[in-house]
Structure 1
């Protein structure tokens, strides 16, 4: 990890892969990840951790399957949302977005339980940010 300030805009220009987060820093045992996203992710669940989203650019939709039924939250640029642990969810960005996520180091991008993983989704615990 860098001991220098990280400009998120510059970091986002350092890669093109979609649904393939880069770890920009760590806070205690948590990764701060950025990603470019477009289209649909996969329905998945994180059994033991919440998942925090901040939309840096564009618009992100997150579909949720909750005991009360299915709903979708819309996150415009600048919005934050936390998916509670154990909640099945599917992020998607019809027109593309750049996002920041905050979750425990080692958390898989496709969770603990998920549907089949499409080729455009990177099943990872995050990649190092190239300098």
Structure 2
């Protein structure tokens, strides 16, 4: 286990390479961790569920494609190279009309679908 951990911290992480390692959508993969925050990659397509994270902010950075984040009072549209931080407690619903690749930064304690249980909920995420 120590060797795996050291390899993770001793080499550069290529986002495009990591994104070739999985096909599932709405299933974030952990690629790093720092100061209690996890860095995740995800492929998104379609609509997610309305949810909120009561105690955690959530950062979405679009690597490829266009992501829509619906809020109850506005719509945020993100293009490649753009990011948005959803403040804690704000209900949101990500939407990807075409496949989108995103990087997420959030506390390790962040529940995948926040305050709700849904068929898309992932209780444990894989490291890649």
With normalisation by structure 1, the TM-score equals 0.87
Report how far residue 124 of structure 1 moved.
3.1
Root-mean-square deviation (CA, aligned residues, Å) is 1.3
Does structure 2 retain, via aligned residues, the 8 Å contact 1:105–1:125? no
Task: Count residues with an aligned counterpart.
Answer: 121
Query: As a proportion of its length, which structure holds more strand?
Result: 1
Report how far residue 46 of structure 1 moved.
0.2
Q: How does 1:18-57 map to 2 (within 5 A)?
A: 18-57=25-64
* Structure 2 spans left out of the alignment, 5+ residues: none
Q: Does residue 127 of structure 1 match 2:91?
A: no
Does structure 2 retain, via aligned residues, the 8 Å contact 1:24–1:128? yes
Report how far residue 123 of structure 1 moved.
2.2
Q: The residue matched to 1:128 in structure 2 has which SS? A: coil
Query: As a proportion of its length, which structure holds more helix?
Result: 2
* Structure 1 spans left out of the alignment, 5+ residues: none
* d(CA) in 2 for partners of 1:122, 1:34: 16
